[in-house]
Amino acid sequence: MTLAGPHDKKTTDYTTVTQVREDRTEYSKQKRKRSQLLKRIPLEQLMDLKVDFAFKQLFGNEKNKDITVVFLNAILQTTGRNSIKDILFTNIELGGEYVDDKQSRLDLLVITDANERINVEIQFSDQHNMIKRSIYYWSKVYSEPLEKGMGYTELNPVIAINILNYKLFDQTERFHTSYHLYEDEDLFKLTNVMEFHFIEMGKLIKAWKNDDLNPWSSVLARWLLMLGMVDHKNKKVYDDIYKELEAIAMNDETLYKAFEHWEELSTTQEQRLAYESRFKQIMDDEAGRRDVQLWAQRQVEEAEQKAKEVEERAEERAEERAEERAEEKAEEMAEERLGEVAHRLLAKGMGVEFVVESTGLTEDKVIKIHHGMQNKR
């Protein structure tokens, strides 16, 4: 693997990515209040928070409610929504996403103190359906209260947050994009009940490598970098991100607490086994989809090759037929000219044998020409 800096190192199968970054003057003037964040395990043994199991254990836990509130506020403040003061974790079962499903399970669903519902989905692998999937989940969460006899006016806003471990939009290199319904020409917002956020982790890491992120001034950047710091799929950990967040956490109580719970979660045997089982399932599913894609690609390539061969054979046959027709036409024209020569020779009284030898025509052909001349007299 390619290392990113002069202090890079490998730990087991992982690449520890280190970058030399500028000193943070603000922090250098402050006294560290605590020891280093990770006390029991090395960085690469932390769970990858982009795996839905790990994400839900950290952010979907009642005892970590204050962590979840800060994380969600960091996202929602980008669209000007009021800060959340409190949240209620709610049922994450929905009606079937597919015909044969009895239910679909959301990653995280909370109700805020302003009665807004926030659904957070984290996708480790690209299943090529995320936009429609998010709209589907939004519609189910938005309409669910009607089953309890509520009127339309009582329906509250639903905010969909999608954290993706892959690239979704080619139109922009921004890692965080948000979407609403707007009028086509004047661009005024139709409603505030619908809001979608898409966060692409690959673009986030790219922005970090380009030194375009400052987690000291952006709360959102520090929380998203926390999610991207451990990359088990590519067997990488970003030591430079950890060191930056470690320094910030000395003065950010919530971030420090998140690291503590993250480490505790990663060192609990039961949770660790469940995480590894889920991670293996995701990777197996991804490998299975990849195998299907490769099989389909091979089928397409074979079909295209066969079609090309058939087309080439058809072109060859067409060329052969054209050549044959040309040859036949040439032979007909040559024979016609020889017939004219034979006709003149016979008209001058030359014998059939002489004409045959002179023109190369068959004797029957010359005799036929001769008879035709006699019948015209």
The answer on pLDDT for 149 being more than 90 is no
pLDDT digits (tens, 9 = 90+) for 164-218: 999 999 999 999 999 999 999 999 999 999 999 999 999 999 999 999 999 999 9
Structure tokens at 121: 């989905």
pLDDT of 13:
62
376 or 316, which is more confident: 316
For residue 17, what are the β-bridge partners?
Answer: 238
Location of structure tokens 């980008």: 78
**CB burial string 91-111: b at 16+ within 10 A, e below:** ebebeeeeeeeeebebbbbbe
Same domain membership, residue 311 and residue 262? no
What does the DSSP assignment read for 13-73?
A: TEEEE-------HHHHTS---S--S-SSS-GGGS--TTSHHHHHHHHS-GGGHHHHHHHHH
User: Which pTM value belongs to this model?
Assistant: 0.72
The answer on pLDDT for 373 being more than 90 is no
Same domain membership, residue 110 and residue 57? yes
Do the Cβ atoms of 57 and 122 come closer than 8 Å? no
Location of structure tokens 């639903």: 158
The answer on pLDDT for 281 being more than 80 is yes
Same domain membership, residue 303 and residue 258? no
Same domain membership, residue 60 and residue 198? yes
pLDDT of 59:
95
Same domain membership, residue 336 and residue 240? no
Domain with 47, as residue range(s), is: 9-19+37-267
367: pLDDT confidence band, cut at 50, 70 and 90? confident
Structure tokens at 149: 């006899």
pLDDT of 312:
84
Residue 172's identity, in one-letter code, is T
111: pLDDT confidence band, cut at 50, 70 and 90? very high
6: pLDDT confidence band, cut at 50, 70 and 90? very low
Number of domains in the chain: 2
pLDDT of 103:
47
Same domain membership, residue 261 and residue 171? yes
pLDDT of 104:
54
Same domain membership, residue 191 and residue 49? yes
The answer on pLDDT for 110 being more than 80 is yes
284: in domain: no
Same domain membership, residue 181 and residue 91? yes
Cα distance between residue 164 and residue 168, in whole Å: 8
29: in domain: no
Same domain membership, residue 118 and residue 14? yes
279: in domain: no
Same domain membership, residue 206 and residue 158? yes
Give me the sheet containing 108-112, strands edge to edge. Answer: 87-89, 108-112, 117-123, 158-164, 194-200, 176-179
